[in-house]
Structures are given as C-alpha cells and as structure tokens.
Structure 1
Amino acid sequence: MTMADEQWYFDPSTGDVAQGKEGSWSNRMGPYDSESAARDALKIAQARNKQADAEDEADDNWGTGDQRN
C-alpha cells in the first residue's frame, strides 16, 4: 500500500469519503490524514478561505490608518 492509498479524500459531488484516490481528480478534495478530517473537508476549506480572505484584506489595507508615528 502506498502513502496515497493510506490517505483520505472527500468527493464533494457525492459527499462520500474514501481511502485512496478513487474517482476523478476534479471531484476529490484531499488528501487528509484521517477519515474524520476528510469528512470535515468543506469546513476545513471554508476556514482556510476565511483566513486567506482576512490576510488578503490586511494586505490591501497596509497603507491605511493612522500614520502619525
């Protein structure tokens, strides 16, 4: 069994979780280290997107604010 076969993946089109690369890459999120993490793939992606959006907003606003130093 290879490393990829031991990892978990989530299929957002069906909601199924599988160990190993099953199905098309276009319908596969992962890899995840555990089945429970794969089941939470959408929550994990949402949290990562929220964090990235906050970082982008901070980058966009780097020159604004109080400049009286």
Structure 2
Amino acid sequence: MEPRQPGSNKMPDFDKLNDRLIAESSTSPMLVIKTNLDPEDTVENNPYYHDEEPKDPKEFKAYFEE
C-alpha cells in the first residue's frame, strides 16, 4: 500500500526547492512586553482562539494572562 500524499501532484517536492530560506529558531532569550495597547480580553485578536469555546476556558485564559 502506497503512503497517502496530501495536496496537489503539481506541487514541487519540498526538499528540491532552492528558493526558500528556513530560519532556525533563536537560542537566545526573547523579551515579551505587555503594553497598554494590548487587548484586555485574551480571546480578542488571539490567533489561537478559533470562534469556538476552548476545552478548558480557565486554563486558556490563565495561559495568556499573567
């Protein structure tokens, strides 16, 4: 049985692409700053919130609020 290949057959093989640059993640620490411009609600403009109620709303809000 052949492995399932999702996507279009017209797409080039990812390993053969030579016009892409994949940056490695930084090993140095990052600084994340909360400002007065950040929304008060954790679901507002949050890319991890998808219009449906999360499985555990308290845990979701606790993760994004500090």
TM over 0.5: no
Q: TM-score, normalised by structure 1?
A: 0.18
More helix by share: 1
More strand by share: 1
Work out which structure has the larger RCO, using CA pairs closer than 8 Å and 6 or more positions apart in sequence.
Answer: 1
Q: TM-score, normalised by structure 2?
A: 0.18
